[in-house]
Amino acid sequence: MEKILKPNNVWIDYVSRAGLLVSRVIVGYLWYTQLLWKLPPTFGCPANFAVSTSFHARTSGLCDWVGLMTIYSKIPLQASLVKQFVVPNLSWMGWIIWLMEAFVAVTLVFGLFTRLGGLAALLQALNLYFGVSRVPGEWYWSYAMLALLGLIFLAIPAGRILGVDALLHPRLEAGAERGSWLAKILAFLT
């Protein structure tokens, strides 16, 4: 992997590093901005956490999109799971959703366990792709591209470029060489 990040041509090396750094921070900021319309403790929902029941009977905040997922999901099992489990528990499930997306924002902006953030971003983007990309007016490619960006940050250790991972990775690699399986896993996630 290091050869990919350090090609022989120095000009490409600087362009690659700058591109990964800027992309990582901007995508992290994108995830941050998506936290602002669903802030805890209500997550932008009505007081009774009522979810949208159709495209024309919409509520607000996270309840709007969760409700639409029960109607428009491409996967009936996903729609059923959201309807039977997430909707009745949205007052605490909203915390899990919000904290997971906040985790993605932090990992990408600060370059801290960036690959783990990329994995979380990939999984949430796939959840959104299958769950809400058929909502009228939604451009399904936006969710597909969000998933691909998550995949890129899972595949490429972008946090090692001016991120906290650059400090953590050498220490974790040393621990992995001493035989620590936890250090080996954590080194991969940086």
Type of residue numbered 130: F
Q: How far apart are CA 125 and CA 31, in angstroms?
A: 11
Domain ranges for the chain, please list them. Answer: 2-159
- pTM, rounded to two decimals: 0.92
Please state the separation of Cα 137 from the chain's center in Å: 22
Spatial contact of 80 and 7, defined as CB atoms under 8 Å apart: no
Spatial contact of 73 and 131, defined as CB atoms under 8 Å apart: yes
Full pLDDT tens readout for the chain, 190 residues = 444 445 455 555 888 899 999 999 999 999 999 999 999 999 999 999 999 999 999 999 999 999 999 999 999 999 999 999 999 999 999 999 999 999 999 999 999 999 999 999 999 999 999 999 999 999 999 999 999 999 999 999 999 999 999 999 999 999 999 999 999 999 999 9
Which of 8, 64, 62, 56 lies closest to 35, judged by CA?
A: 62
Paired tokens of 190: 């940086």
Spatial contact of 138 and 161, defined as CB atoms under 8 Å apart: no
Please state the separation of Cα 163 from the chain's center in Å: 17
